[in-house]
Structure 1
Amino acid sequence: MKNSQIKIFLSLLISINWLTTGCGLFGTTEDTPTNNTENPDTSSDSEGLKLGALFPITGDLSSIGQNMPIAAQLAVDTINACGGVNGKPVTLVKEDDQTDPVAGTAAITKLTEVDKVAGVVGSFASSVSTAALDVAVRNNVMMISPGSTSPIFTDRAKKGEFNGFWARTAPPDTYQAQALAALAEKQGFKNVSTVVINNDYGVAFEGQFVNAFTTAGGNILNKDKPVRYDPKATTLDSEAAAAFANQPDAVAAVLYAETGSLLLQAAFKQGLSKGVTVLLTDGVYSEDFTKQAGKTADGTSILAGALGTVPGADGKALEEFTTLWKEKSSGKEITAFVPHTWDATVLLMLAAEASGTNTGEGIKNKIREIASGEGTEVTDPCQGMELLRKGEKINYQGASGNVDIDENGDVIGVYDVWEVNPDGSLKIIDKVLPLVSN
């Protein structure tokens, strides 16, 4: 099949996918693709700000991705209720990346080249964002992820590969890996093994964790033979056996939910996980994950006692968002990265208003100024809009944290420590700061 035929096929496929899965809880504004193919950065300017949402509604991370488009739509609805952006309503176009880089690339191609969006909220999986980001940058579209935490984005940003069209509201795994190492040290673990999903996210996290933990005096039992599992694997018995070998105090497991639950089931069935604490990350911070992992014969979660880290969120902005979320989402729980999704969407709209233009270039030029500048601190997006319309400067304080974005698009945060209860439910039990390593 020729390249042109492939592109047409993918666009049609994604369009069908949008019709079947793209409707959000709060509704969307119908959008009509423009015919301006010569300058994708100006098409949104004349018809009002158009944003895209790229999230894992299906696939390995769907248990976390379900509420993300709802949070993005809530942000858009909130801003539209107080006047929109640059005098016009904002449109949000949602796409399912299926937790798959190929599907994500097709979806971002549709969003940027057919829908002509100026900014994209997403994706969540680092592997998907890695693939999608090249398309966004090529089309001068600002991309803000609420959860792609791989350090590879920092490295590429430092090389100037993104031209400023990238940011994220969750801190990179450089910090979370160090936070997980700090948690391991705090728990008194001396000998730890690792097992990670074999992609950008897992391998980069592994490197940072090993460095931080060994620098602090800990021992990684399988440092010379790291266990990395295939994201497409359907059986993981040998990987589980290797990860839990040699009686570690704990196993740092950097997983995705569907495949990760298979690995931990395999360890349990082989009798390897007894007396070993599993250390988890934000990628599996979901009760759906503990349900997938399963229970013992007496109904106790096989993950009971497991500990994990997740980017924390606190402060006035979170309280305000929590109230709004409960009111507008029919009592849905605020799951992991929902505040980060809200903030990413709000930042795109505030930056567009600050620039006076509904383009990716305009958003890029103002994103750091409204997120971490010297203006008036605001937690209410509508208050921020009102000040910007008066020509004043703002410093948006997000529900996920201060969202102070640096020159590489990164933020630094504090991490919540969570634990799996015997019934499989989750609870926040502590906070931890990254353990800085050299």
Structure 2
Amino acid sequence: MKYLKSDRPLLNNKANRLSSSIILTIACLSTSLFLVACQGGDPSGEQTGGNEQSNAGSGKGLKLGTLAPTTGDLSSIGQNWPAAVKLAVDTINECGGVNEAPVSLISEDSQTEPSAGSSAMTKLAEVDRVAGVVGAFASSVSGAAVDVAVRNKVMMVSPGSTSPVFTERAQNDEFNGYWARTAPPDTYQSQALATLAKKQGFNKVSTVAINNDYGVGFEKQFVTAFKDQGGNIVGKPVRHDPKAATLDSEAKAAFGSKPDAVAAVLYAETGSVLLKSAFEQGLTDNVTVLLTDGVYSDDFVRQVGKTADGKSIIAGALGTVPGANGKALADFTALWNEKVKKELTAYVPHNWDATVLMMLAAEASDANTGEGIKSKILEVANAPGTEVTDACQAMELVRKGEDINFQGASGNVDIDENGDVVGSYDVWQVGEDGTLSVIDNVSPTGAN
């Protein structure tokens, strides 16, 4: 049953719209001319994007989009992202939808390319007329797409773009509130990785990073954090071309200074080439590779390859990834396993949370628009309000006009005025057989 909001000034408007819809339907049935007009649209309300069909919708309800890297350098992580968004939309539609109508979904592929991401965002904003977009992943893609979103008053919530540049741009009032993210910025993750390095007893660390907003931003933050904790950075920062086919010289420069560890800020496809090259040049002995969320996938480990005796080339490598704990994650994992039946990969919970927050904000604002989502997203994400983890329960409370503080599967999703969350981090390790396992957790401040 759809719960009506109480004490909402637009409730009468909704009743008027319902009456108007009934009158229009009668008019449509009265003449063949209107009958043709009424049948002109897709009765299922489905919208098709780059990779996926949406949920059924009337065309008048809330429209959301996804901008995920289902192809390109980050596709090994991004493949499951649209499924997480669709699961959130399906879940809310099953318990009444948003503003008394089903939510529809249009998915586009960012291709892990800024130009492709900008074009896809333009389509979502100007052709599909979505109110909000979940995406992108690569910070370079989000950096290109967010300007399109802001210009068109579309709310953009990234589940994975972590560059500190977005914090700086928000502080400069470049986004006008149309930007947020459910993954914490690299300002925090770089500190966590530096803390992990010191905890492991590494005193000499070199760096190598993909030469884009994400890689360079993370590298700079890591260097500062590691030095602040008493560590030594050896050699010059090594940055590689995102489209490089061979990376032999970059591998030699990163590993050649005989560090205890190499902090490698990479994407999967090109990063695997670099690490395989370092191994083939005999540079990886007694050197631990420190990795980040950008390569947290089994596919990446397989791409790097195995030694002659069948062990992973990067066995023993350590990394950080935004983590989550508690009932919300457990409940989401159970739902994911029941409905999607795929591996729960990195940032899937962050996609779920981004989608749920936008739907809750649209309901709270009584408007299926980007302006409406923007006006209420901080309110439903933060205190004060009833802490709630279940998406349908949260929606029911919002429909009744109650304040909520949504607790997400990826964390508490307390979003600040810059669109940032802090978060905590899981420590993961590559086993000799190439499997990934979470072995610890670490915070940006070093407290565990």
Aligned counterpart, 2:75: 62
From 48, 51, 58, give the equivalent of 1:22: 51
- Kindly indicate whether the alpha-carbon contact (under 8 Å) linking 1:212 and 1:435 is maintained by their aligned counterparts in 2: no
Check if 1:239 corresponds to 2:258. no
From 238, 250, 254, give the equivalent of 2:261: 250
Question: Once the two structures are superposed, what CA deviation does each residue of 1:174-214 show, in whole Å capped at 9, x if it has no partner?
Answer: 00000000000000000000000000001110111000001
In the TM superposition, what are the counterparts of 1:244-393 in structure 2 within 5 Å? 244-330=255-341, 332-393=342-403
- Kindly indicate whether the alpha-carbon contact (under 8 Å) linking 2:49 and 2:108 is maintained by their aligned counterparts in 1: no
Check if 1:427 corresponds to 2:437. yes
Give the unaligned 5+ runs of structure 1: 1-17, 33-46
Partner-residue secondary structure (3-state), 2:257: coil
Which AA in structure 2 matches 1:217?
A: G
In the TM superposition, what are the counterparts of 1:186-225 in structure 2 within 5 Å? 186-222=199-235, 225=236
Q: Partners of 2:127 and 2:159 in 1: how far apart? A: 24
- Kindly indicate whether the alpha-carbon contact (under 8 Å) linking 1:76 and 1:345 is maintained by their aligned counterparts in 2: yes
Aligned counterpart, 2:135: 122
Partner-residue secondary structure (3-state), 2:276: helix
Aligned length: 400
How far the C-alpha of 1:31 sits from its partner, in A, is: 8.2
Q: Which moved more, 1:315-324 or 1:278-287?
A: 315-324
Q: Partners of 1:141 and 1:88 in 2: how far apart? A: 19
Aligned counterpart, 1:160: 173
Partner-residue secondary structure (3-state), 1:83: coil
Q: Partners of 2:49 and 2:367 in 1: how far apart? A: 32
Which AA in structure 2 matches 1:370?
A: V
Aligned counterpart, 1:14: none
How far the C-alpha of 1:373 sits from its partner, in A, is: 2.6
How far the C-alpha of 1:417 sits from its partner, in A, is: 0.1
In the TM superposition, what are the counterparts of 1:26-41 in structure 2 within 5 Å? 28-29=55-56
Among all aligned residue pairs of Structure 1 and Structure 2, give the percentage whose two residues are the same amino acid. Answer: 71
Give the unaligned 5+ runs of structure 2: 1-46
How far the C-alpha of 1:29 sits from its partner, in A, is: 3.3
Q: Partners of 2:431 and 2:55 in 1: how far apart? A: 38
How far the C-alpha of 1:232 sits from its partner, in A, is: 0.6
Q: Partners of 1:28 and 1:258 in 2: how far apart? A: 32
Which AA in structure 2 matches 1:163?
A: N
How far the C-alpha of 1:246 sits from its partner, in A, is: 1.8
Aligned counterpart, 1:9: none
Are residues 19 and 346 of structure 1, via their aligned partners in 2, closer, same or farther at CA, if it must alter by over 3 Å?
A: closer
Q: Partners of 2:194 and 2:133 in 1: how far apart? A: 32
Q: Partners of 1:429 and 1:246 in 2: how far apart? A: 29
Aligned counterpart, 1:171: 184
How far the C-alpha of 1:333 sits from its partner, in A, is: 1.7
Q: Partners of 2:379 and 2:72 in 1: how far apart? A: 36
Which AA in structure 1 matches 2:256?
A: A
Q: Whose Rg is larger?
A: 2
Are residues 20 and 433 of structure 1, via their aligned partners in 2, closer, same or farther at CA, if it must alter by over 3 Å?
A: closer
Q: Partners of 2:260 and 2:178 in 1: how far apart? A: 42
Check if 1:81 corresponds to 2:82. no
TM-score, normalisation: structure 2: 0.88
- Kindly indicate whether the alpha-carbon contact (under 8 Å) linking 1:124 and 1:147 is maintained by their aligned counterparts in 2: yes
Q: Partners of 2:222 and 2:255 in 1: how far apart? A: 17
Which AA in structure 1 matches 2:439?
A: I
Are residues 159 and 339 of structure 1, via their aligned partners in 2, closer, same or farther at CA, if it must alter by over 3 Å?
A: same
- Kindly indicate whether the alpha-carbon contact (under 8 Å) linking 1:69 and 1:94 is maintained by their aligned counterparts in 2: yes
- Kindly indicate whether the alpha-carbon contact (under 8 Å) linking 1:122 and 1:143 is maintained by their aligned counterparts in 2: yes
How far the C-alpha of 1:226 sits from its partner, in A, is: 1.2
- Kindly indicate whether the alpha-carbon contact (under 8 Å) linking 1:355 and 1:362 is maintained by their aligned counterparts in 2: yes
Aligned counterpart, 1:13: none
Q: Partners of 1:305 and 1:101 in 2: how far apart? A: 33
Partner-residue secondary structure (3-state), 1:416: strand
Q: Partners of 1:366 and 1:313 in 2: how far apart? A: 24
- Kindly indicate whether the alpha-carbon contact (under 8 Å) linking 1:52 and 1:119 is maintained by their aligned counterparts in 2: yes
Partner-residue secondary structure (3-state), 1:84: coil
Aligned counterpart, 2:17: none
